[in-house]
Chain A
Amino acid sequence: MPDGIPSPIFCPPLHPAYMAAFVVRRVFWTIPVILLVILLTFGMMRAIKGNPFRNTERNIPASIQKNLERKFHLDKPWYVQYALYVKGVFTYDLGPSMLQRNQTVNDIINEHFPVSVQLGVFAMIFAVVIGVPLGILAALRQNSLFDYLAMAFSNIGFAIPSFLTSTLFLYFFALKLGKYTGFPTFGWSGWRSWILPSIALGLGPMTYFARLVRGTMLETLQQDYIRTAKAKGLRWRRVVGVHVLRNSLIPAVTAAGPLLGYIITGSFIIETIFAIPGIGKYYVTSVSSRDYSVTMGITVLLSILIIIANLVVDILYGVLDPRTRDQRA
């Protein structure tokens, strides 16, 4: 603002001070959400009964059982366990794994989570970089051959589950055409091994973006303010690039948050099929073997991730659509 401190009424709400206040407030609100997530996971894990130390065929003597339970605080009341756990989360000490004796949850996360993050990021990049332009071009050439092909492809891509596409990808591109493509059939080392799993995981979100962007774009093109932009004599490139795009990307940004959840759960499947050493395998096995600390640790980690993603989406949303800023102020 050239005129010094803006008055509260006329202040552009993107002003850094307002943005900062908004972000601080949102970050503050994530704390009770995380506590609730921990409590719910905690409660649900306990509700499935079972015990990490009773699932072996060998009978463990009662005294050892007692000792183990004491070591992991399982003999304490649930609220004490909960309090101890919450303390652990905020000091980033997620405790030892109850079954992998020599590993802490921190170790497992540090070793395997980066691989999962990489896979997820690549998939998301693929989804956005291909999906959004596909939707834009299809909308700008509505009812053309390109539009029909793009939408047919998107509908098919959206309908086929990822375990099927990844199996087909493996069979054709890694096994049959492996000597031309050089794609390995398993593992996560080097860019060649990243391509197939990332595409397999990103295909669903990609088609989702394409269809969403096409739809909102067509809707935006019909808006009165687009007619105004044309009536002003703006070049078509500016009409599309500034007036249409900005308004049609808002729903896509909104969708990106929930799609992250899809990517995370989807990655467990993809990691299994492509034998990728990500965190998914540990997560799934920890649940069935009641490895409480691992399940809890990964759940809390993923929920924090999703909370952060939603925070970013909210901020972006405010940047793209000024109307939402006033409602929060």
Chain B
Amino acid sequence: MSKSQIVDEAAPFVRGAEKVLAEPKRSGHASRPPGEKSLAASPGTWFVWAGIGAFFIFLFGIISSVLVDSFGKPWFRTWLPENFTLSWYQSAWDKFDMTHIIGVTLIVGFSVVVISVLIGVPASYVLARSNFPLKRLVMVLFLLPILIPPITFGIPLATVMYNFGLGRTLIAVILVNLVPSVPFVIITMTPFIEQINPSIENAARMCGANMRQVFVRVLAPLLVPGILAAGILVLVRTVGMFELTFLVSGPSSDTLVVAIYRAMTSAGGSEARQLVSAMGVVYTVMMLVILVIALRFINPTQLVAQVKESRDE
């Protein structure tokens, strides 16, 4: 036992791994005193890191292919393009009026965030704090738009929009995107409000605050992290939302994703691949900016559960 331990500790990482592979019978825990860790990784660990590695190879392959492609001229049978150029961005701006498309995307994104927070947060407060008849029915009503595929309610919704003459307008795009966003805010904010101690509100009421003051002075500061997190997630979802926007938008109200899709599939042969890549890079940069700003304020997992740190570390 002591010999193997010495070897384990002295051996470099890879040799340790070979040992485990060579002697799979010996379990990692039995041969060591408790609390000490093997230097060699178990096969399970190798599997996990291999999986993550493969995933990241694909991920970075995809991102950097698009990036290189958008700067390349021409790029066919080589590892890298022969020349690098900015002309694809120039022509993307000339051909598609990117400033307008980005502006539309941001207007849609931020309006959806503001409206869905304004509608959703009061509703989730009621759902978190009080019981009332038909509460389960109301919950189902808010859960359905998230569970049902976007196309399923998107097509009837788009039909209604066209009937009302709202088709291809900015208002229709915003309204359609609100349908999954408001329930999303409600579903994520309800547990967040539940974990705020109700005695804080009761204390405020007892001290003579009215409902409005309780909301503005007591609840709002406590809710800010949750609202920010939910708002950022809604923004990311809305900017990335393809199906619903695609069904109702027209040339003047296309968001960036839809514009990219249309460029990829436009009738009479799609646009040059590099042009689409350039638009894709603009999209990624926009998303990254949102994400970087978001991660400065929030931790994306904080909404899902209160994490209890593992004790055995």
Question: Do they bind each other?
Answer: no
